[in-house]
Structure 1
Amino acid sequence: MNIGIIGAGHIGSALAVRLTGLGHKVYIANSRGPETLMDVAQKTGATPVTVEEAARRGTNLIVVTIPLKNIPDLPKDLFAGVPAEVPVIDTCNYYPLLRDGRIPELESGSLTESEWVQQHLGRPVVKVFNNIHAEHIVTRALPAGTPGRIALPVASDDDAAKQKVMALVEELGFDAVDGGNLHASWRYQPGTPAYGEYKPADKLREYLADLGMERTEAQHAEFRANHTRQEQEFLKQMQQSGGAE
């Protein structure tokens, strides 16, 4: 496949390593231009391009994996020439304290993170790879049926795109679990037990079913509080590390 990756950070680079290793042609971009991606190209085997080229050359699949706050800065017509059948993966997470600032729709819970991204991009997205540590995309991949294989939830409002992405997740070495529509993707956002805590496919399906599809006010409050504590703890660790130096 021809795959465009917009974002050359940890997740984007890890996906590039795995996808090129599987024989796919990967085009990778960042906001600073392809000339800044020579090291990434050497490490991953991906071809450095501009953001616009990544969208144009990703004729089978496009991955958007940039900080959430930078989504509105992408070119407004980025996907204008991309055929509707090309899935667009969103890996974004919302970190209001660490990086993104407060976004009203996400604070209130009226939108999930990927619904917010979908609105800005102007086309359906598929939510996946947001709840796995980047390095584990490379190190924890296992053949189908192997004990301990990680399951990853996949959500989208576009069922055809979701099925294509679920097949890719399986190819990458993980069990793909249908996470429902994009409005239900809150179930594996930061602060939930499915964020960074891996489950086998049967346990992940049980967890998603137990939560239900519609997020209650109590669930939103609980998981936002969990996420705030996690961010505060991380900030504290960063401060202590900086002080030690």
Structure 2
Amino acid sequence: MKIGIIGAGYIGKTLVQKLSAAGHDVKVANSRGPDTIEADVLAQGGRAVLAAEAVVDVDVVILSVPLGRIPGVAPLLAHVPSATVVIDTSNYYPHRDGKIDAIEAGQVESLWVAEQLGRPIVKAWNSIGSDSFAKKGKPAGTPDRIALAVAADRQADRKVGMALVEETGFDALDAGTLAESWRQQPGSPCYCTDLTRAELPAALATAEAARLPKRRDLALAVIQERLSDSKKNPDAEYGVRLSRALFM
């Protein structure tokens, strides 16, 4: 497939590397220009381009930018064909994105994103921490392979999203429509808890919408306190242990 990725942060970087390694033709752009994209991001064959070029003549566009920047990205997609699959990896964090009234009032994050873009999207790769995403991918059929929820309103889009998740080293679980994708938002039992395919359905089913923001903010407060009180960052597994303790 021809894939354009907007964003070369922790998740975007790994997407470029993994999808290029899987044989896809991958272009990547960030907000600072192609010259600022580091060589290791492109080591598997990805190409750094301008943002306007990343969305031209591609089968899939992946948005890996902070949720608050989605409205600014929307104009790039104005002339992208409706058949092109758009995948969003973002999550809402008010301290970073600014308070968004509609989401604060209960709108599902994915539906807000689709509304800003004016087109259907797929929600994928939003429920895994960047370190786990970079390091824990495994071949299909591995018993303890981590599973990720994939939601979309169009079945064909969801199928593409699930296939790409599989190619990045994780089991893909059909999580239904965007209206149900709140179950994979920050604070939910499946968010950054590194669950297997056998464990993930129950985690999605037991999510409680009203509790998600409180749990999200509590986890953030704990991490910020831990960082301020420590001379070194928590180990890579700390986030997973914390998420399991607070969200499940």
TM-score by length of structure 1 reads: 0.88
Structure 2: distance between partners of 1:38 and 1:233: 31
Partner of 2:62: 63
Query: How far does residue 79 in structure 1 lie from its aligned partner after superposition?
Result: 1.8
Unpaired stretches in structure 2, ≥5 consecutive residues: 234-248
1:173-192 map, 5 Å: 173-192=169-188
Aligned mate of 2:165, from 149, 166, 169:
169
What is the CA–CA distance in structure 1 between the aligned matches of 2:204 and 2:41, rounded to whole Å? 37
Amino acid at match of 1:177: L
- Where does the alignment leave 5 or more consecutive residues of structure 1 unmatched? 212-218
Establish whether residue 81 from structure 1 lines up as the match of residue 91 from structure 2.
no
Is 1:221 the counterpart of 2:220? The answer is no
Deviations 1:38-87 (A, max 9, x none): 43554453211111111114x121100101111112252x2233222221
Mark the CA change 1:201 to 1:38 in structure 2 (over 3 Å): closer, same or farther.
closer
The letter of the residue matching 1:135 is: D
Counterpart of 1:105 (choices 91, 102, 106) is 102
CA RMSD of aligned residues (A): 2.0
* Aligned-partner Cα distance in 2 for 1:38–1:207: 37
Aligned residue in 1 for 2:21? 21
Offset, 1:243: 11
Letter in 2 for 1:92: S
Q: Deviations over 1:207-243 (max 9, x none)?
A: 32344xxxxxxx3331111111112122223433589
* Distance across 1 between alignment mates of 2:41 and 2:210: 42
CA displacement at 1:200 relative to structure 2: 1.6
Q: Does 1:232 align with 2:221?
A: yes
The structure-2 alpha-carbon separation of the partners of 1:163 and 1:232, relative to structure 1 and needing over 3 Å to count, comes to same
Distance 1:124 1:40, change over 3 A: farther
How many residue pairs get matched?
A: 233
- 1:127-184 Cα distance to aligned partner (Å, 9 max, x none): 0101112233332122222110111100011111001111121222211111111011
Match of 1:159 in 2: 155
Report the counterpart of residue 136 of structure 2 in structure 1.
140
Q: TM-score, with normalisation over the residues of structure 2?
A: 0.87
Q: Distance in 1 between matches of 2:215 and 2:41?
A: 37
Identity among equivalent positions (%) equals: 42
